Chains A and B, each alone.
Chain A
Amino acid sequence: MSKGKSNYTSQLRYKFPLPIHPIDDLPLLILHNPVSWICYLYKYMKSHNRLQKRIHVEINGDSFPHILVEDQGQMIYLWDNGFFGTGQLSRSEPTWRSRTSIRLGINDDTLQNEQSAKSQVALEKLTERRRQQRLEFKRERDKSEKQLLELRRKGGSIEEEEALLEKEREALREYKANQLLKSVDEEEPNELRMEDENLIDENGRIIKLESLQLMPVEAIFLSYALPVIDIPIPELMERLCGGTVEYETIHKLITRYVAYHHYRSHGWCVRSGIKFGCDYILYKRGPPFQHAEFCIMVMDAEVPRDYTWYSTVARVTGGARKTFVLCYVQRLVSQDKILEAWDRKDFTTIFSSYKVAEVIYKRWVPGKNRD
């Protein structure tokens, strides 16, 4: 399975793009049937969008707060509904526990109701497999190059060489197609190592080791914009920035959040772009469905950087075939106004006092743009 070919399970699993679900189980409303009106009304009045129980977050550390979600079910919930946070022992999706249970051959019943355990292959596994296949393909290609050399040594003509090349190309193409068709094999449980015993508690279950870490902007979004985590926004902001603040200390967090919220609210799945040398990357729907298409750099509108900086980032993002977007965040009111609102804990005023504008930056090669 590669990205873009989403299957039915993932459609079900990632059905909701946000951790607050819409009320979508209302009964059918039939105009000429008053009973259905009552049914509908009753159901409508009874249901609400709130979560049953808000997700608990721990914040550890003072100068660099770590915002952690530790409950296994809640970790998975945040990942499945909008792809928030990163598993500390995984690449992004918190899969350590299910990977370990497969590796050790332990049937963990706490994982049974989560589809992630077996039906879903972890992203880490996929990448590993892709690398393996690439290696195998290269070996195959080496073989055909050796054949060509053999032919040359024997003194074959150019026509013979071309025929051989054509044949080999066809064979390689077929090899690649077959590779893609192969499904991911079920992994055999590995042998237990000494240290693996520490991973299992007295009931034979895998202990809780991994937690999900949220970026500060994600935590703000889940507290301020959607009531999902159990820390109120004034408290969270104080924890992140300290009690009394200067404008300089909050400026970066505010602009970054403004950009984050802007893209989230238009339906993008926004994740950290640090792997591509930028602030955010934007996925349509989410990482299991498509590769990220855009790299976002959050910029202060009036602070230019050295050209080398732009060209560096553009090269890296261009190399990963992503579009590089400069997201300029402009402050519309004075710094004092922002600080005033900060003291009032009026974050809506703060965030809506900034405006975003975007510019696409792309290397242009004259020779490729002549007609």
Chain B
Amino acid sequence: MSIAIPANIQISAGEDADLEDDEQTQDWSEIAKLSRTNEAIAVIPKRGEKDFEPDETNMQELLLYRAQKAMFDTLTNFIRGSIIKSQVKAYYIPETHLAYIPQPRGNFMNTMGRATSSGDFFLQFHEFVYLAERGTVTPFIKTEELDIPLSIQDLYVLFKDQNELDTFAIYAHLKRLGFIVTSADDTSYDTTSFYAPSSVCSKRSHLQLLYNALTGSLAQQKISLHNRWFFSPWNFYFQKYTSSPQLYRGLNTLIPSTNIPKTVIDLRGTFRDTVQNENTDLKINFNVWKPQTNYKKKSPGLPDYQVVIYNKNDPSSHFPTYSEIKGIFNSLDYKFEFLQEGMDWDASTYTNGIKRSEYLTSLKSKAKQKKSSDNPMNKNVKTRRPASSFSPQVQQLRRLRNGFRTFLLAIMDDGIISFVKISEADFGSENVWHSPMLHKVRKSPFNRNKKNGKNVEGPQKFSASTIEKK
């Protein structure tokens, strides 16, 4: 459960502190209670004091015993194994590299596999191995006379190459943590896109692009004239600057920085259907949704994350260069979290080429999905404070820290998986200079005393720096 950071605490202490918790041991006692009482509302237990070494007291022994017992209880109270009656058989089909389930049933069907129009249920190979490893399905291969059961070893032999094995490992890792994961190239669902189908507004966006390019080059020209002047040795002999921001604006004209799409229109203008770079095999591999109960497999809407896989030890690949990263940014199609809060995603995304809101009303059952945390029944929900209620400085700092378009890079190193969040940042359009003019300190001694007196009450008044957006 992520914790909303209180506004008055510096954000710098925020997210990495979360990361550190990661390495601490789990407290099992509450989970044991859950498995007994089966209560739906879990409470995150408070950690006790940590004992660093044995102190040879009975008290410590007792505490240790209790903690151990809680863990063992949790593990032993759970019934293991499967019942023959509810066994689900899955048959591997060598020709298509898929698995067929004649009598599909179980929760996994909500998020995995797909049914053809004739009603046959198929699993992709990585889904098949994942479910077989968990014991949810029993793997078989069909021959003419009989069904031969497959072992897990057998399944691993069936992987075609290292790439597929990596893909499976990362898929399984995310699935085990509760995420909903689908292959990005799987188009058998009703796919939802942030971008309008090309027929609708391609003309406009092309015009927009042309316009952007033109104004961009004009602006560039203007800048180069101005900076030639600012950086000439004569600048300060003829030009006078009456405030620090003026000086900064002069300095600003030298280095061009990359334009970053931040609005709906910009995003739609820069979108490319596929990662445009011939000499790379990096692509978006997975669409990932946060755990949720109302996920609709048939039309899942936009994913929360998109994952790119990179094997560190593959001699033919390398960490993405800037142009590769940019290519990936331009082909992202997910729930851009930096867009305005309270954005109506159904009204601004497209499913099967029509507006998603129209698509949803055309469905018989309302396939609107909700996150488990949106559920009003869930009392433990912590509502996040809207970003716009923070001071401009905090908002600016957040923009700089979180960046804009984001993807996850999953790095595979001999079975060890790490994730990195790669986000586009824009320091080029945020100015953080402090302007003394706004906090001007007068020079006369009378005023100084007065200000000094004032300052005792509110020193914070002076520490605010000015924010300006280009």
Chain A residues at the B interface, C-beta cutoff of 8 Å:
4-8, 11-12, 15-18, 20, 22-26, 44, 47-50, 148-149, 152-153, 155-156, 158, 161, 165, 224-227, 232, 258, 261-268, 284-285, 289, 291, 293-294, 299, 301-308, 310-311, 314, 318-319, 321-323, 325, 328, 330, 347-348, 351-352, 354-371
Contact = CB atoms under 8 A, between A and B. Distances in A.
A227 B236 contact: yes
Residue with the highest number of chain B CB atoms closer than 10 Å, among A6, A156, A224, A262: A262
Contacts of A321: 12-13, 16-17
A328 B236 CA distance: 32
Interface in B370-416: 371-373, 397, 400-403, 408, 411, 413
A265 B244 contact: no
Nearest to B13: A321
Given A266-B248, A293-B12, A364-B420, 19 more contacts: A6-B459, A17-B433, A24-B243, A49-B236, A153-B57, A227-B235, A263-B427, A265-B251, A266-B427, A267-B465, A307-B411, A307-B413, A308-B312, A355-B257, A356-B256, A363-B19, A363-B421, A364-B408, A371-B372
B1 interface: yes
Given A17-B244, A47-B240, A302 B322 contact: yes
Nearest to A156: B59
A330 B443 contact: no
Nearest to B462: A11
Contacts of A267: 248, 431-434, 465
A348 B240 CA distance: 21
A299 B323 CA distance: 12
B408 A261 contact: no
A152 B59 contact: yes
A352 B411 contact: no
Contacts of B173: 366
B237 interface: yes
B199 interface: no
Interface in B247-276: 247-248, 251-252, 254-258
B241 A23 contact: yes
Contact of B240 (A44, A261, A311): A44
Contacts of B59: 152, 155-156, 158, 161
A229 B241 CA distance: 19
B246 interface: yes
Given A258-B255, A293-B12, A304-B320, A22 B242 contact: yes
Nearest to A309: B319
B424 to A, nearest CB: 6
B236 A50 contact: yes
Interface in B6-23: 10, 12-13, 16-19, 21-22
A258 B232 CA distance: 17
A291 B62 CA distance: 45
B373 to A, nearest CB: 5
B255 A367 contact: no
A7 B18 CA distance: 32
The binding surface of chain A is classed by DSSP as mixed
A364 B465 contact: no
A266 B428 contact: yes
B339 interface: no
A366 B22 CA distance: 10
Contact of B436 (A6, A24, A152, A322): A24
Nearest to A260: B255
A6 B411 CA distance: 43
A16 B240 CA distance: 16
A323 B401 CA distance: 7
Contact of B257 (A8, A305, A306, A356): A356
B422 interface: yes
B423 A266 contact: no
B248 A265 contact: yes
Contacts of B27: none
30 contacts: A23-B242, A24-B243, A47-B240, A48-B237, A152-B60, A153-B55, A155-B58, A156-B59, A225-B251, A227-B233, A266-B252, A267-B433, A303-B321, A305-B319, A307-B319, A307-B411, A311-B411, A352-B227, A355-B255, A356-B257, A357-B326, A358-B258, A360-B401, A360-B403, A360-B423, A360-B425, A364-B420, A368-B21, A371-B2, A371-B291
B430 to A, nearest CB: 7
Closest 7 CB pairs of A and B: A267-B433, A265-B251, A357-B258, A152-B57, A358-B425, A301-B322, A364-B419
Nearest to B404: A360
A284 B432 contact: yes
B287 to A, nearest CB: 15
Contact of A304 (B228, B319, B413): B319
B160 interface: no
Given A24-B440, A362-B420, A366-B177, A285 B322 contact: no
Contact of B224 (A17, A156, A352): A352
